[in-house]
Amino acid sequence: MSRVTIPFTKMHGAGNDFVVLDGIRGPLPALERVAKRLADRHLGIGCDQILVVRPSSEADFRMEIWNADGSQVEMCANGIRAFFKYVRDHGLTDREAIAVETLSGIVRPRWAGEDRVTVDMGRPVLAPAKIPTRLAEGEGPVLDVPIDVAGTRVVASSVSMGNPHCVLYVDDVDAAPVASLGPKLEQHPAFPNRVNVEFVEVVSRRHLRQRTWERGTGETLACGSGACAVAVVSILRDVADPAVTISLPGGDLEIEWASREGHVFMTGPAAEVFTGLFAVEEG
């Protein structure tokens, strides 16, 4: 068994942190085998997710997303902001807007200046079969459905923003049972592909606070697609305006959803932390 050294860039979007690998300029080891090692905060680089830049026949680039547990997922909104900053800063594009192929479809980030990126997240998916969730049937939306979780009854809403989300409202997000209830909901039979779980406190119609238990990772400092899901559910429940600031432990995101037929737009920060080389075993 030989050891190969791969270059990496550590980045974050509102504290949701990533290891970015360039799969265009050079070969990479099999990510399903090394993702856990890269993500390990004690024995590896440390991150919530690994992002891989790949060529695409359908868009400007393709983004692969690997969770800290080695699973691959469809979409990460904080990740795509970091991805766009990476390809701009590292000379892969000089465009102000690009198209990125993901497992959930084509996503279009655009530069918003001062290390900020706006992402067209597309239309939210409200039909339960497409989220997917077994909480309801028909066209949706899935709002305020009672669900039993290990002997505890909660009221949940669900939406997909390219990946599935379960949204719960709490009086105090700082005291929310994220670590205890999050993993139970993630694995609940009501969500056949598992689910990201958002705990939300309504401060005002233009300001929400959020914590997230992220599928395959655990609690993260931010979840961009989760913030979009929270905005959509909150607007549908008429507790938020069409433009809302969502405060997460790692920072604020601005979310806009002008109409039920319209696209969701998210604006937030992206930052590079450091670069380096990491040795992995191959063969």
For the question of residue 76 being annotated catalytic, the response is: yes
Residues 212 and 149 in one domain: yes
In 3D, which of 68, 51, 58 has the Cα closest to residue 270? 51
Q: Is 223 exposed, middle or buried (0-12, 13-18, 19+ CB in 10 A)?
A: buried
Residues 254 and 134 in one domain: yes
What per-residue confidence (pLDDT) applies to 88? 97
pTM score of the predicted model:
0.91
Out of 47, 76, 166, 228, the active site residue is: 76
What are 111's strand-pairing partners? 117
Contact 228, 264 (CB under 8 A): yes
Residues 50 and 86 in one domain: yes
Type of residue numbered 144: D
C-alpha–C-alpha distance, residues 181 and 152, integer Å: 9
Domain region containing 185: 128-262
Residues 107 and 215 in one domain: no
CATH assignment of the domain containing 238: 3.10.310.10
Residues 132 and 258 in one domain: yes
> 186: Cβ–Cβ under 8 A, 6 or more apart, which residues?
194, 195, 196, 197, 213, 215
Q: What is the residue-level pLDDT of the chain in tens, covering all 283 positions?
A: 678 899 999 999 999 999 999 999 988 988 888 899 999 999 999 999 999 999 999 999 999 999 988 899 999 999 999 999 999 999 999 999 999 999 999 999 999 998 999 999 999 999 999 999 999 999 999 999 999 998 889 999 999 999 999 999 999 999 999 999 999 999 999 999 999 999 999 999 999 999 999 998 999 999 999 999 999 999 999 999 999 999 999 999 999 999 989 999 999 999 999 999 999 876 6
Residues 77 and 160 in one domain: no
Neighbours of 57 (CB within 10 A): 6
Range list of β-strands (E), 72-184: 100-102, 105-113, 116-120, 142-149, 152-160, 164-169
For the question of residue 166 being annotated catalytic, the response is: no
Residues 108 and 204 in one domain: no
Structure tokens at 174: 């700082």
Residues 93 and 75 in one domain: yes
Structure tokens at 240: 């938020």
Residues 204 and 158 in one domain: yes
Residues 171 and 274 in one domain: no
What per-residue confidence (pLDDT) applies to 150? 85
What per-residue confidence (pLDDT) applies to 221? 95
Residues 81 and 184 in one domain: no
Residues 205 and 249 in one domain: yes
Total tally of structural domains belonging to the chain: 2
What per-residue confidence (pLDDT) applies to 48? 94
Contact 32, 61 (CB under 8 A): no
